Amino acid sequence: MGRAAPGLGATTRRRERDGLPVDASIELASLERFFSSVVLTLPRLFAIFAVVPFLSGGMLTGTVRNGLLLMLALFMSPVAGDMPVASIGTWVLIAGKEAFIGLLLGLGFGIFIWAVQSVGDLIDFQTGSSNASFFDPVAGHENGPTGEFLGWMVITLFVSAGGLLAMLGVVVDSYRLWPVASFFPNLGLVIEQFAIRQGDTLFLWIVKLASPVIFVLLLVELGVGLVSRVAPQLNVFVFSQPLKSLLAHLMMLLFVFFVYESLQEFLRPENGVLDFLRATL
């Protein structure tokens, strides 16, 4: 509030010199501060929407996406902090900093979805289903059938488990921890901690979610190898791939419940993204 007051006084004196009433000049200054807060709130939200899989341009396009961004910016601008009275160059630096924070938040929330999709890609590779990969026009790249299924499944579970509300809560808290007018305490420390924490989280989720299915498929491979040694005249490759696919899909019935429990842990009130924000301050 202390920073905004000099700007308001200077604007008021300028309006008085221009012949405007004091009340009108105060209203115009308040309107300028409001629009500047909305404009500087948008870069962080735009970066989040660009990174999170189910909010990217392939999912939400055009008027719906832009309208949602503007609506969120209007609601979050009051908690964004005091807006600085600064030059255009400073505004550009602040916008770049805001986009960087949004990138970190988007990567933090998208990491669980990417981990489950990576598990699906591993299952496709182990079962041979990766040969049936196809181009996904929404994601913009090729996916195997299991990876595509698990990707849409985890997005559905994320939304139904309250992931959107948790994400919005973290975004609001991020404006309290990192206001628009404040810069990073140590940019190198932020990048280092983010790479360590999120990289560790990504590989931990992949191993945790994929290990039961991969273990079962490994047992099938060992069994097929023993059968081929006992009966070499039998072509085991004819039924090995259908058998692995059948067992993998049966395992995914249990996998859904395990993913949902893991998602509930990921979306707990004191989640990893908010912990990361506090650890870097």
Residue 221, pLDDT score? 82
With cut-offs at 50, 70 and 90, classify the pLDDT of residue 146: confident
Q: What is the pLDDT of residue 57?
A: 63
Q: Residue 4: pLDDT above 80?
A: no
Q: How confident is the model at residue 276 (pLDDT cuts 50, 70, 90)?
A: low
Q: State mean pLDDT over 63-87.
A: 77
Q: Which of 34-43, 89-98, 262-271 has the lowest mean pLDDT?
A: 262-271
| Predicted local confidence at residue 117, as pLDDT | 85
What's the whole-number average pLDDT of the chain? 76
Residue 61 Rama label (left phi>0; alpha psi -120 to 50; beta): beta
Q: Residue 15: phi, psi to the nearest 5?
A: -65, -35
pLDDT higher for 94 or 8? 94
pLDDT computed for residue 12 by the predictor:
47
CA-closest candidate to residue 148, choices 162, 132, 167, 159: 132
- What's the confidence (pLDDT) of residue 38? 81
pLDDT of residue 5: 40
> Please, which residues have CB within 8 angstroms of residue 181's CB and are 6 or more apart in sequence?
3, 81, 82, 83, 84, 94
Alpha-helical runs (H) found in the chain = 4-17, 22-51, 62-76, 88-127, 145-160, 163-177, 187-230, 237-266, 272-279
Taking residues 104-121, what's their average pLDDT?
85
Residues 135 and 120: their CA atoms lie apart, in Å, by 15
Three-class SS state of 106: helix
- pLDDT exceeds cutoff 80 at 175: yes
- pLDDT score at 206: 82
User: pLDDT tens across 182-205, in order?
Assistant: 766 566 667 777 777 777 778 888
Give percent of the chain with pLDDT exceeding 70.
Answer: 75
- Is there a contact between 258 and 155 (Cβ–Cβ < 8 Å)? no
pLDDT for residue 187: 66
Positive or negative, the Cα torsion across 14, 20, 23, 26?
Answer: negative
Residue 67's Cα: distance from chain center in Å? 19
Give the pTM.
0.74
Please state the rounded mean pLDDT for residues 260-277: 71
